[in-house]
Amino acid sequence: MQDVRHLELTAMADALLASLPIEADAEPVDAGVLWEAQAGVVDVLDKARQRQVCGVLLDDACYRLRHLRQRVDTCQQLFALCARHAVLHPHHASALLVQQLVVPRSIRGQENPLHAAMAKLHEPGRRAINQCTATVQRAVVWRHMLSAQDTLIASLKQSATEQMLADHLSLEGFDYVAAMYELSRTLATLALLPSNVDPLAPGGDMVDAITGVGLWDQAVSLGQKFLNQAASDDTSPLHLMLWPECDLQTACAPYVVPVTDDENKGDGRFRATELARFETQPAPDPIAQVTLDATTLANLLAGDSLQNFFLINNGKATTAALVGIFENLQSAADGAANAVAKASQTLASAKGNANSANANVRSANDRLAQMQERLGANTDKINVNRQGRGVQQLRSMMPEHFGAAFLIRRNQVTPQHYVFGLEDLPGRESLPKTRYGEYLRPDGTPFGDIAPPHPSSTRLPKGDHLVLVIPRGHKTAQVVGDMNRTLKKVREAAGALGDAEGGHVRAKSGLSEAIEGLDSEKNKAAYRVLGSTPFCVAVLMLEVWNVSSESEALKQTMREKNSARATAGIISAIVDLTIALEALTVKLLGSQPKDFISRKSLWVISEEGAERWLGKTLGEVIAKQITSRLIAQILSGSLLFTINLYDIWYAWQWNDQAIYGYLLISMGGLLSALGSIVGGLTVYFGLNPLGWAALLLIGMGVGLVIIMSSTPLESWLANGPFGESHSIDLYLQDPLEAFYRLASLLAGISISIERNPAHEQHATFDTHAKIPHAIRSADTVIRLESRLPGVIGSLHSVSIQADCRHCRILERINNQGVPYRATVEVTDKATRPNAQRLYPNAIELFFTTPTSQISSTGNSRHYYKWAVRAQFILTHGGENLYFPSPPVKDPTKYSSKWAVPNFEVINQPFWADEITHKVSLND
């Protein structure tokens, strides 16, 4: 017990509090005075040393418990101060997302695929993440809290401490009440986990961005094990001091007030009659108290710290101390028991999942039914000993208020019984509700052709489980009823306000697991080796694809780079296509190359003139006959060289390692142009040495670009608020814009169009059917899903705007019987869905797709597909954020220009489509 591993944190708390801006309703506290240097004085033990008087140092167990509990309280205060300090950083929201989803190497025991992007973040950026989330400070507090709790447990296990507690709990009068209250507060701190009191660790863990070292909660802490053992073992000294003896028969009958007072035997056993004496007494004067515990409790009662709604209605100040004892002990015991039970269930569930690897293929209805079945089964599993012991403790301490309460079987409840927790509370119909997993009309209302689903409370068994009741005419029933009715009005008002503001069904999204980063790269054809006719056709196909890709990416390139770079890319692709067409034409016509117009000499350079201007060596190898094809080849190589010079600068601006690939491609383009100019070199398989070197460099460069290009998340990390900023990415330094782009990268928006599994070919109305007719008649279901980060849940609401339209495709058949797509027409108006089904992270829309039709001649047919455009709108701080956002390198901001989706293009900023956001196998 002499080894206290960590220093006190009171000074740290005072310093943090002094550094924070004073809140409007907070009282000014000048804690710095306590840490100022004091003037030197004579040691109080100076005379004793002069007389050589010796003393014996005795351990004060009571002081140690009070001191250790104060350390835990200080840790709780520090967690709140650290959170307030972190929120002051402008990029706190982005840093919190990165720390929770990107920094950890594993999440929930599985490898985190996003952690690889941390390699792009240098140490100053990692340090900034720690600063914006107060990670280092919180880690210190986390370890201090665990240390204080471990030391507190070790102290409570000592026999000397048990004897000290027995001595204090053997006091009389208000001193006994104060000692019991102080012990209940101490035990309540053992049930706490650091993540319970750390606002920035909702997932129960925390990882340092620099070192990668993490802290996380254990399934069951040492404090929870200690509390559960003390509450379960009715022979332990601590149990006997805190709880009365009770069995099921006693708890199921009204409390009988003892005729004689409990005897004080000096062993600290629970004395209900001594506590009950103060049930109706006013709070004592703090000045008149003798013990520290009594003075502290009297001051708390004199203030508002222990008041609550029930006590205000009741008007008895001292009752607050008795209620506090019950709440502290019962919550600590229940929390510890629940943690132990949850750990056991998790272990059993893990074993069950290992035997059923295909459990994820179950339908949503099956999972919902199984969850309800488990919920119903668990209602009977009440620990009667623990709950009955708590009821007996409450009744014996406050017989006037709760003496008439008792446990009774649910099926034995009569109208004369007031059931705690089941009456005067807001009903299902009055609470704001979101019908997750239910089939709804397009306007969000339930269908009328099937029976409405039962409330969850009616699905639970109504058998012989125990409930706590009190006679309806008892004054406590009236007080609690008034309190619940007041709460009901508040909840109903809040629900009405929420319905008025909603106006339509809103799909709320949450983050339950880490999001996999996806990145798509487009390759540019680099091989232009002309050989056989089939190979020329393949090259031509690549060049056509190249032109098509450049055309599709024209607007995107203009937004990300500039119009000159986009235009140069189009010109380069067209020149490459022209060269490939020329080569294919020569092969197909079988003409002599010299007879083809593109290969006829436009002018000829004489040998003497070439040697006179370039020297003998270059003059001998330079191309003497200038043709249209030669000019095109030189132009193609020059454009490739110039474009990739710009891409080198652009990649450098974005800290992209693909810069080395663009450098090789640029060198290849230069060698390609030079190889065309130097036509007198020896040719090997259609290319001279410079041409082969160009081909090799371009191939290597394309490979490096594909391998080394940064993913969108890596680009955000390397250039965002925690990376190295350049002039090209200044918009990522804006806190809201940076958070918006990061959230969009992690949103995981996906659109799937599938066959409706509940579809019936000839569906009819059936009042006994479990599935509405509108669902059974729909053959297509479109699912819009988003895994927006969990932090979004606290940012008001997320609404989904979906536009689904028929896409009519006309297909014709040529003379050889090969079908080809002739025309594609998209309807002008959105199609109204038959029904919808809402989930916490998705919405399903049900449609009926028109049938395909074949012409009477059989040479054409038309069929229908679905074109989908969806937008997730987040309302935060009075502003709307539209997901998906443009790519990280695209500085485009939302405006009225993007308010309406364009069905003629895909990958439109601020709109998701069924092709770009198609569900992948990795999702």
Question: Residues 672-708: pLDDT tens digits?
Answer: 777 776 765 556 666 777 878 888 888 898 888 888 8
Helix, strand, coil % over all residues of the chain, rounded to 5: 50, 10, 40
Q: What pLDDT is attached to residue 509?
A: 28
Please state, in angstroms and as integers, the Cα–Cα distance from residue 238 to each residue in 82, 232, 352, 653, 854, following that order. Answer: 35, 11, 38, 67, 85
826 DSSP β-pair partners:
807
Please state, in angstroms and as integers, the Cα–Cα distance from residue 517 to each residue in 101, 207, 236, 395, 919, following that order. Answer: 11, 20, 54, 57, 13
Q: Which of 575, 565, 693 is nearest to 633 (CA)?
A: 575
Q: How would residue 378 be classed by pLDDT, with cut points 50, 70 and 90? A: very low
Residue 621 belongs to a domain: yes
Question: How many distinct structural domains can be found in the chain?
Answer: 3
Residue 891 belongs to a domain: yes
Residue 809 belongs to a domain: yes
Contact criterion met (CB below 8 Å) for 622 and 681: no
Pairwise CA distance, residues 91 & 87, whole Å: 8
Pairwise CA distance, residues 476 & 468, whole Å: 13
pLDDT exceeds cutoff 70 at 327? yes
Asked if 662 and 772 sit in the same domain, the reply is no
Within 814-859, strands assigned E span 819-826, 835-839, 842-847, 853-854
Asked if 864 and 808 sit in the same domain, the reply is yes
**Structure tokens given for 408:** 């009774």
Give the three-class secondary structure for 871: strand
Pairwise CA distance, residues 320 & 301, whole Å: 7
What mean pLDDT do residues 90-97 have? Answer: 90
Asked if 548 and 615 sit in the same domain, the reply is yes
Could you give phi then psi for residue 561, rounded to 5 degrees?
Answer: -110, -100
All residues at 6 or more sequence positions from 89 whose CB lies less than 8 Å from its CB, including other chains: 95, 131, 132
Contact criterion met (CB below 8 Å) for 692 and 684: yes
Q: What pLDDT is attached to residue 514?
A: 29
Side chain identity, residue 10: T
Pairwise CA distance, residues 422 & 457, whole Å: 10
Pairwise CA distance, residues 55 & 225, whole Å: 39
Question: Residue 431: is it exposed, middle or buried by C-beta count within 10 angstroms (0-12/13-18/19+)?
Answer: middle
What mean pLDDT do residues 446-451 have? Answer: 63
Pairwise CA distance, residues 599 & 576, whole Å: 16
| Site of tokens 């961005």 | 209
Residue 460 belongs to a domain: no
Asked if 780 and 700 sit in the same domain, the reply is no
Asked if 774 and 872 sit in the same domain, the reply is yes
Across the beta sheet with 842-847, the strand order is 439-440, 835-839, 842-847, 780-785, 750-755
Q: What is the pLDDT of residues 754-812, one digit of tens each?
A: 999 888 888 788 777 788 888 888 999 999 988 775 556 544 567 888 999 998 888 88
**Structure tokens given for 202:** 């909702």
Give the three-class secondary structure for 625: strand
Pairwise CA distance, residues 375 & 351, whole Å: 20
Spacing of C-alpha 532 from chain mean position:
56
All residues at 6 or more sequence positions from 444 whose CB lies less than 8 Å from its CB, including other chains: 435, 504, 505, 836, 838
Considering 217, 237, 260, which residue would you say is the last residue of a domain? 217
Give the three-class secondary structure for 641: helix
* SS3 of 352-412: HHHHCCCHHHCCHHHHHHHHHHHHHHHCCCCCHHHHHHHHHHHHHHCHHHHCCCEEEEHHH
What mean pLDDT do residues 390-397 have? Answer: 87
Pairwise CA distance, residues 650 & 666, whole Å: 13
C-alpha R_g of the chain = 38
Question: Residue 199 is part of which domain span?
Answer: 1-22+61-217
* SS3 of 498-526: HHHHHCCCCCCCCCCCCCCCCCCCCCCCC
Region of poorest pLDDT, from 380-394, 556-570, 627-641, 864-878: 556-570
pLDDT exceeds cutoff 50 at 432? no
Q: What is the Cβ-side half-sphere exposure of residue 681, based on CA atoms within 13 angstroms?
A: 15
Region of poorest pLDDT, from 577-591, 875-889, 905-919: 577-591
Region of poorest pLDDT, from 70-84, 418-432, 527-541: 527-541
Within 777-852, strands assigned E span 780-785, 797-813, 819-826, 835-839, 842-847
Asked if 83 and 192 sit in the same domain, the reply is yes
Asked if 645 and 767 sit in the same domain, the reply is no
Task: Round to the nearest angstrom and report the end-to-end CA distance of the chain.
Answer: 52
Q: Which of 84, 108, 87, 105 is nearest to 96 (CA)?
A: 87
Task: Write down the H helix ranges in 52-205.
Answer: 61-87, 92-101, 123-132, 135-156, 159-168, 174-190, 194-197
**Structure tokens given for 206:** 């925390």
- Ranked by mean pLDDT, which of 251-255, 341-345, 421-425 comes out on top? 251-255
Residue 856: how many other CB atoms lie within 10 Å: 6
Q: What is the pLDDT of residues 624-668, one digit of tens each?
A: 566 777 777 778 778 888 888 888 888 888 888 888 988 998 888
Q: What pLDDT is attached to residue 428?
A: 46
Q: What pLDDT is attached to residue 540?
A: 40
Is the model more confident about 622 or about 439? 439
**Helix 92-101 vs helix 735-747: angle between axes, to the nearest 10 degrees?**
30
Region of poorest pLDDT, from 211-225, 617-631, 732-746: 617-631
Pairwise CA distance, residues 793 & 791, whole Å: 5
Cα torsion for 214, 224, 164, 293, to the nearest 10°?
80
Residue 343 belongs to a domain: no
Considering 167, 200, 217, which residue would you say is the last residue of a domain? 217
Q: What pLDDT is attached to residue 390?
A: 83
Pairwise CA distance, residues 421 & 468, whole Å: 9
Q: What is the Cβ-side half-sphere exposure of residue 320, based on CA atoms within 13 angstroms?
A: 23
**Helix 563-589 vs helix 533-552: angle between axes, to the nearest 10 degrees?**
160
Q: How would residue 153 be classed by pLDDT, with cut points 50, 70 and 90? A: very high
Could you give phi then psi for residue 908, rounded to 5 degrees?
Answer: -75, 135
pLDDT exceeds cutoff 60 at 371? no
Pairwise CA distance, residues 749 & 258, whole Å: 66
Q: What pLDDT is attached to residue 316?
A: 58
**Helix 628-653 vs helix 563-589: angle between axes, to the nearest 10 degrees?**
150
Side chain identity, residue 6: H
Please write down the long-range contacts of 538-541, taking CB distance under 8 Å and 24 or more positions apart. Answer: 539/580, 539/583, 539/584, 540/577, 540/580, 540/581, 540/584
Q: What is the pLDDT of residues 470-524, one digit of tens each?
A: 888 888 777 777 777 776 676 666 555 444 444 333 332 222 222 233 233 333 3
Region of poorest pLDDT, from 217-231, 704-718, 763-777: 763-777
Q: What pLDDT is attached to residue 161?
A: 92
Pairwise CA distance, residues 542 & 93, whole Å: 45
Asked if 649 and 752 sit in the same domain, the reply is no
pLDDT exceeds cutoff 70 at 311? no
Could you give phi then psi for residue 782, rounded to 5 degrees?
Answer: -110, 120
Portion of the chain with pLDDT greater than 70, in percent: 68
Cα torsion for 828, 829, 835, 836, to the nearest 10°?
90
Asked if 735 and 819 sit in the same domain, the reply is yes
pLDDT exceeds cutoff 70 at 451? no
Our separate counts of H helices and E strands in the chain read 31, 20
Portion of the chain with pLDDT greater than 90, in percent: 18
Q: What is the pLDDT of residues 551-599, one digit of tens each?
A: 445 556 655 665 666 666 667 666 666 666 666 565 556 555 555 655 6
Asked if 804 and 830 sit in the same domain, the reply is yes
Q: What pLDDT is attached to residue 867?
A: 92
Contact criterion met (CB below 8 Å) for 745 and 888: yes
Considering 710, 738, 760, which residue would you say is the last residue of a domain? 710
Contact criterion met (CB below 8 Å) for 442 and 449: no
Q: What pLDDT is attached to residue 580?
A: 61
Pairwise CA distance, residues 410 & 569, whole Å: 77
Please tell me the pTM assigned to this model: 0.77
Pairwise CA distance, residues 880 & 798, whole Å: 10
Mean pLDDT across the chain, nearest whole number?
76
Contact criterion met (CB below 8 Å) for 402 and 476: yes
Residue 583 belongs to a domain: yes
What mean pLDDT do residues 101-120 have? Answer: 87
Pairwise CA distance, residues 314 & 322, whole Å: 13
Of all helices (H) and strands (E), which one includes residue 649? helix 628-653
Give the three-class secondary structure for 773: helix
Asked if 588 and 663 sit in the same domain, the reply is yes
807 DSSP β-pair partners:
826, 865
Side chain identity, residue 498: G
Asked if 653 and 793 sit in the same domain, the reply is no
- Ranked by mean pLDDT, which of 290-299, 567-576, 602-611, 833-842 comes out on top? 290-299
Residue 294 belongs to a domain: no
**Structure tokens given for 136:** 């280092």
Residue 266 belongs to a domain: no
Counting every residue written for the chain, the total comes to 923
Give the three-class secondary structure for 842: strand
What mean pLDDT do residues 305-314 have? Answer: 55
